[in-house]
Structure 1
Amino acid sequence: MSLHKLVVVIGAATAKVGPVFFGFLLSKYWGHSEYATFLLLANFAAFISSFPTLGGVPQILSSGRLSNPGYEIKRNINVSISLVILFQLGYLLYWFFVQKNGSNVEAIRGWSWFLSSLFYSIGLVLYGLANALLNAKERWLIASLCSVGVYLSPVVFAFAIGGSLEGRNYFIIVLYAFLFFSSCAVYFLSVTRFFKIGFSFSPKVIFFEWRGLLKHFKVSFFGVACLWGFYLAAEEVNRNFEDIPSAIYSLSFQLFSVSIFIPSVLGGVLVPYLSNRINRKSNVEKVKMWSFFVYIFIASSFSIIVMLLSDYLIKLYGFENYPDMARDVFIKMQIAAVLASVAAYRIQELIVYSRYLVLSAGGCVWLVVMMYGIADTVTLQELVLSFVWAYFAVLLFYLFDFVFIKMVLMGLIKIGYKRKH
């Protein structure tokens, strides 16, 4: 790996530490309950932003193989922005008339929840679009450095401003969400202005781009399914477990997120690189083979580090009363992270070749296994084991899909050879 690409990966990985550090500060200075609430919020915001983000970002990243990439980028940004507005309006109505008085999770009932989810989810969409645009233009180093500022600055300013406001625990999360949204908005506006990409805040855009809307759904479904499963798991934890077990899950999930984030960073480099060079078969195959082993090595190395540091993390976060539970949960989540990283390699390969229906089918497989595991869970360890089985199932699905396609191609080649001779 060149020094340039190494800096890109390190910078992006450092950015992802921002929410982890914010969670640590919440756990230490505001309480384990606030930490669990923050993770629930982060999962929900990721879910509600997933359709606009995961529909647009892969198409922007792979736009280099198309004859008019500029139009493809502009179209996806317009559809994504329009969907953000519609989704937020729809959720406001649902929250006000259903969740505000009827949710089983107390944290969801207050206005602080809606405001936090509004700021955080919009911020995630703006960040995803800006980052994808820079990666598609192969400005990886700039994207990496900007990511560090976008993710770390809200943590610093939130605690600088909110640290003196004792007794108002919810405010620190709202403040963090607002600062994150602000940094993402500055990032998005700066990038789109630099590349002279026009966009519209009008929801009517998607009705003129109905084909783009359908493609958004097809492209994003795998990610939407996973993020919905993440949210259901977090809601189950907040509903049925005490503060410290909930915080144990929160930390294990954040470590899991960091582990799978690095392959997603590499995907931001790999997908546009392969898309822009898709006709150079020999070079493409070499890069694909190299990246596969890198994915496995990075995920496995991070998992080993987490396992080695598990006792230190237990003391640092105040989990001394639940040491066995914490170790078991950390290990299971890191096993799931390794499986997810291997699956990510196959997912990104499918994105390059626009095989979005296969991704959607994989999303169905993952969600069904995950929901079955959550519904049948009693202990926290059983709930976390659902992640392992879900990623194992979807990985098998992708491997069998690959074998099936290979068998079909080999069969067609043999038939063609026999006819020729």
Structure 2
Amino acid sequence: MNRMAPLLAALLVVASVATPAAAAVTADRTETQDAYAGAHVSYDVQGDAVVDYTVDNETMVESMRVESQSNYESRAGVSGEVDLDSVVELDGLGLDMGASTTTQATVQTEGAASIVTHDNEDGTLVVRGGENGQFVEAQVGSDAEAEAASDDRVVVETDNGTTGTFIVVGDGNVTVNEAGNVTAELGSDASLVFRESGEERTDGEKRVERMIANGTATAEVYVEEQGEQTVEDTVTYGQDTTVEAAQEGEHTVNMTVERTQSQGKVVVIHVAESVVDAGESAEVLVDGQAAARAQSVSELRAATQNGDESMYYVAQDASAQAEASTTVMVGFDHFSERTASIQGEETTDGDDSGSGMPGFGVTAALAALVGAALVAVRARS
């Protein structure tokens, strides 16, 4: 036993030193990981490309590269206006995984462009051109087909019928190049957006796509349950827009929208019924006052164009893949900082809004909520 004691002591010393070292290696790998896997979205970053971009287990993009227009023109020996159909095999910028939160992840680039992915039901991906013009090429899967729907939208459909749309916001256009891949040209401060539409691209999905492309919709907000946690994700399409959103209580979602420009815009909010059972009876307050309900998207859009008041529209057909959710569009008549509150359906017998406060109806209870401090999760795109 006496001979074994020194050996056991030595082994304990080695074990005590080896354990922290192993933990350090694991931590380093976590910090320098080149893959992302969320509740909806997963992908890898390999050198100069984002690869295997998957939404709800369906690979929508096999690889995507970004290259500055000036670098491409110099390398290809061309100048002036470039035929976008002929832009192929981009020499992509160097990429690395960047910071991530519960619902968002960034891909760092060596150039002015930025890439942000959103772990929401639409698997939203946003490429911003930055100060310099950029080309983007996205190679779709071998079992997928890409087709231009307009100068600012290309629709991708996989072999099993899952669809997604590439949308250009701002100064630029997108098409299908001669190799059958999606190619976009982004001017200064323009963006390329990808959104998955599930197995059916509804009229509501098409409507939202058009609103994003023409600048009517400046942001989308997603409120859903992931596991036992309620998460909020905000996607902004205008660089002058900031959105904060959070669930407030059991039946209310609050948000604050700031814009540096005064022109009115629409914010599209997707709320899971498991979080707030909104449905057709949803009510909306803007800046603490009950907003008028628009009967059509045209009426909603008019409210943002020098309208007399803000309005909202409940769109039940906005997404075929999110059957247990409600899409509410809020049209703000002007900015700079506005607040909105979405109230869901009553869920208790005979209670007006669950407030338990005598004399308080839905509107008064909501006004009290909006008057209270907003519990917000800041998400800048």
Question: How high is the TM-score relative to the length of structure 2?
Answer: 0.29
Q: In proportion to residue count, which structure has more strand? A: 2
Task: State which structure, 1 or 2, has the greater radius of gyration over its C-alpha atoms.
Answer: 2
Q: TM-score, normalised by structure 1?
A: 0.27
Instruction: Report which of the two has the higher share of helix.
Output: 1
